[in-house]
């Protein structure tokens, strides 16, 4: 296995506090986390990466997710990130535990903050997530660790991410798909529903139409950003000066990303394309010493 520890130390950071927070997702989903960062930590500079060339993540194997996440983390460290937020539940569920100790930057994921917030809200918790996140059982394990005895039902929703990335947010077909996914959870009389994928808050208008008012929605984005703020405080790494403009990067065609991001953020971002070969981690060649 590649050893990524201390990777990227070759790039000096002038002031660690003014260095950006790295945020990544497979696509536009992580923008729901970015928006929370703007709200809660407005002085932080952000570098956002959407791995749109390899989207969706939610139907991929753990091995693939681990490979992608390592590549992105290595790149983020090279860009000088002082902290990385996995704004992707699939990566948080399948890779966070493994990669956390491989890099010397703090790496935060969504599962634990989401689980902690959900148990404050209810005892019958539904989770809508990508198939990979649902199959990993990460939310159930995290919730039971925090509050044993809670009941948890996880629903894999394979059609949501492609529909969202195609901007079919209010399409009648999307509504019928949402009904199909929520029905089994509503039959269990859930009192709380976790957005177990960062793309899903885009569907809030549709979900609100289907869910009874009594069901509380938990968006882990809110809570991972709160955790990031606490961690920055603890490490003395908060930025106190005006931030740099957010740097947006994607691995695929920037145009569809720009269209969706403009709707969500309220401005059209400038987006750089980072080709996959730039991202793929090149293992340093070992130099042989000549005796």
Q: Which residues are catalytic?
A: 88, 197
What is the rounded distance in angstroms from the CA atom of residue 203 to the CA atom of residue 220? 15
**Looking at 163, 199, 201, 269, which residue binds ligand DGL (CB under 6 A)?**
199
Across the beta sheet with 271-273, the strand order is 107-108, 83-86, 21-25, 46-50, 247-250, 271-273
Binding flag, residue 118, ligand DGL (CB under 6 A)? no
The binding track of 47-86 with respect to ligand DGL, each residue x by CB under 6 A or -, is: --------xxxx----------------------------
Q: In degrees, to the nearest 5, what angle opens at C-alpha 50 toward C-alphas 49 and 55?
A: 150
Binding flag, residue 156, ligand DGL (CB under 6 A)? no
Binding flag, residue 252, ligand DGL (CB under 6 A)? no
Distance in Å from the first CA to the final CA of the chain? 28
What is the rounded distance in angstroms from the CA atom of residue 165 to the CA atom of residue 52? 10
Binding flag, residue 260, ligand DGL (CB under 6 A)? no
Q: Give CA torsion, residues 83, 49, 86, 107, to 10 deg.
A: -20
We find the least distance from the C-beta atom of residue 93 to ligand DGL, in angstroms, to be 8
Binding flag, residue 88, ligand DGL (CB under 6 A)? yes
Residue closest to 224 by CA, chosen among 10, 3, 28, 23: 23
We find the least distance from the C-beta atom of residue 91 to ligand DGL, in angstroms, to be 7
What is the rounded distance in angstroms from the CA atom of residue 130 to the CA atom of residue 88? 10
Of 128 and 232, which has the nearer Cβ to ligand DGL? 128
Of 81 and 194, which has the nearer Cβ to ligand DGL? 194
We find the least distance from the C-beta atom of residue 170 to ligand DGL, in angstroms, to be 20
Length of the chain equals 291
The upper half-sphere exposure of residue 61, i.e. CA atoms within 13 Å in the direction of its Cβ, equals 3
**Looking at 26, 52, 154, 174, which residue binds ligand DGL (CB under 6 A)?**
26
We find the least distance from the C-beta atom of residue 272 to ligand DGL, in angstroms, to be 20
Q: Which residues contact ligand DGL (rule: CB under 6 A)? A: 25-26, 29, 55-58, 88-90, 130, 133, 161, 197-199
């Amino acid at each position: 296995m590649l050893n990524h520890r201390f990777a990227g130390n070759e790039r000096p950071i002038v002031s660690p506090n003014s260095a950006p927070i790295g945020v990544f997702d497979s696509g536009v989903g992580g923008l729901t986390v970015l928006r929370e960062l703007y709200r809660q930590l407005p002085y932080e500079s952000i570098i956002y990466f959407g791995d749109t060339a390899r989207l969706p993540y939610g139907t991929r194997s753990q091995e693939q997710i681990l490979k992608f996440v390592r590549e992105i983390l290595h790149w983020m460290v090279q860009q000088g990130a002082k902290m990385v937020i996995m704004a992707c539940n699939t990566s948080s569920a399948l890779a966070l535990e493994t990669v956390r100790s491989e890099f010397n930057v703090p790496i935060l994921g969504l599962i634990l903050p989401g689980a902690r917030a959900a148990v404050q809200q209810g005892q019958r918790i539904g989770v809508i997530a990508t198939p990979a996140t649902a199959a990993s059982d990460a939310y159930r394990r995290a919730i039971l660790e925090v509050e044993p005895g809670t009941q948890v039902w996880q629903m894999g929703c394979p059609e949501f991410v492609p529909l969202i990335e195609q901007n079919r947010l209010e399409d009648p077909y999307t509504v019928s798909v949402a009904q199909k996914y929520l029905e089994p959870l509503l039959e269990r009389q859930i009192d709380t529903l976790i957005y177990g994928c960062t793309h899903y808050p885009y569907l809030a208008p549709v979900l609100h139409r289907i869910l009874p008012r009594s069901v509380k929605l938990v968006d882990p984005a809110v809570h991972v950003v709160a955790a990031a703020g606490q961690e920055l405080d603890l490490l003395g790494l908060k930025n106190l000066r005006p931030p740099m403009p957010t740097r947006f990067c994607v691995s695929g065609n920037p145009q569809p990303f720009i269209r969706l991001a403009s709707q969500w953020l309220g401005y059209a971002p400038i987006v750089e394309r980072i080709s996959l070969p730039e991202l793929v981690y090149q293992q340093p060649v070992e130099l042989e010493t000549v005796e």
